[in-house]
Amino acid sequence: MENNLFSVIITTHNSSHYIDRTIKSVIKQNFKNYEIILVDDCSDDRTIDLVKKNYSNTIKIFSTKKNFGGPAKSRNIGIQNSNGIWISFLDGDDYWFQDRLKHFNNLISTNQTYDIFCSNELLFNNSDKKKIKIYHGPSSEFFFQDLLINGNKLSPSSTIVKREFLLNKNVFFDEDRNLIGVEDYDFWLNLAKNKAKFFFTNKILNIYVIHEKNITNNAKKHMENTINVINKYFKFLKTYDPKDRFIRIFNIKVSFYINQIIRKKNLFHNLFNIVMIITINPYKFFLFLLSKIK
């Protein structure tokens, strides 16, 4: 059987409020050469019941043996059971615009040397109903170093990856629990380390939904696991300078404390930490502020 062009891998955990909209956003695509694979991380709500009732004839359904707590294992199961030329990730609460796959198909046909394509997206906050444009990329000559020093520049629901590249380079999502919430950042770094070629399009093709149950809502754990990723990959830099690693971790911590203060979380504790940082490293704090102004 001829391979589909796209394998759409939807990962879910207690996504019953969103999953119907997510799946329909794929089915309503105006480009039809795809398969849908749904991998559920042991939901204890009605997610799987809803999917089986409405879509069992059109979707390949898999499940983890026990709840992993993040999408890494589910995405790997999806990759291993896919037959598409391109892997297209979609979180179970996000959704696509109708022309997403068609747009990527056009990009693939005219840019055949690339391994990863990524679009921009809209972030929708379910609490205050605000929409914010998120701009991904750009790529650069030394993209691995750029990702490591300057932070994540991609998002799973806005990205497609060449399946052959993943299998040839043995690149999968790291199932280390100390990377939960930042497993995608780890994944992009691994791809960049393996010399994958990234293409970024300015078009906005999907909605990234934020709500109270998102993994990334645990800000402290997200900060700690981001630092775990940094520590994992810095040794692979060709010109490793311990100062670069220190500054990167310093900026991650400062961003965390400032965001917590803005959200009025543990105000005294986080204000104290900021004061200590400014006292001990005033110049680095000044550089941090300068980078944000730019």
pLDDT digits (tens, 9 = 90+) for 95-130: 999 999 999 999 999 999 999 999 999 999 988 889
Residue 38, domain member (yes or no): yes
The full DSSP string for 76-122 is HHHHHT---SEEEEEETT-EE-TTHHHHHHHHHHH-TT-SEEEEEEE
Report the sign of the C-alpha dihedral through residues 25, 51, 19, 121, in that order: negative
pLDDT digits (tens, 9 = 90+) for 158-215: 999 999 999 999 999 999 999 999 999 999 999 999 999 999 999 999 999 998 776 5
**φ and ψ at residue 196, rounded to 5 degrees:** -65, 150
CATH number at residue 24: 3.90.550.10
Last residue of a domain, one of 194, 216, 238: 216
Contact of 154 with 135, CB cutoff 8 Å = no
**Same domain, yes or no: 229 and 282:** yes
pLDDT digits (tens, 9 = 90+) for 31-74: 999 999 999 999 999 999 999 999 999 999 999 999 999 999 99
**Same domain, yes or no: 225 and 204:** no
**Same domain, yes or no: 71 and 135:** yes
Q: Where are the beta strands (DSSP E) in the chain?
A: 6-12, 34-40, 60-63, 86-91, 95-96, 116-125, 131-134, 159-162, 198-210
Q: Among 67, 20, 19, which residue's Cα sits nearest to residue 43?
A: 67
pLDDT-derived band of residue 227, with 50, 70 and 90 as boundaries?
very high
How many CA atoms within 13 Å lie on the side-chain side of 66? 0
How many CA atoms within 13 Å lie on the side-chain side of 258? 12
pLDDT, average across residues 253-274: 92
Q: Among 80, 89, 105, 94, which residue's Cα sits nearest to residue 8?
A: 89
Residue 268, domain member (yes or no): yes
Residue 1, domain member (yes or no): no
In angstroms, the Cα distances linking 111 to 98, 198, 222, 256 are 22, 11, 35, 38
**Same domain, yes or no: 196 and 278:** no
pLDDT of 291 reads: 80
Residue 84, domain member (yes or no): yes
pLDDT of 216 reads: 57
The answer to whether the predicted template modeling score (pTM) of the entire model surpasses 0.75 is: yes
The full DSSP string for 125-151 is ETTT--EEEE------TTHHHHHHHH-
**Same domain, yes or no: 212 and 225:** no
Whole-angstrom Cα distance, residue 128 to residue 125? 6
In angstroms, the Cα distances linking 199 to 92, 126, 136, 146, 151 are 24, 30, 10, 15, 17
Q: Is the pLDDT of residue 224 over 90?
A: yes
Structural domain boundaries, residue 27: 6-216
**Same domain, yes or no: 184 and 238:** no
Under DSSP, is residue 42 helix (H, G, I), strand (E, B) or coil?
coil
pLDDT of 212 reads: 73
Q: Count of domains in the chain?
A: 2
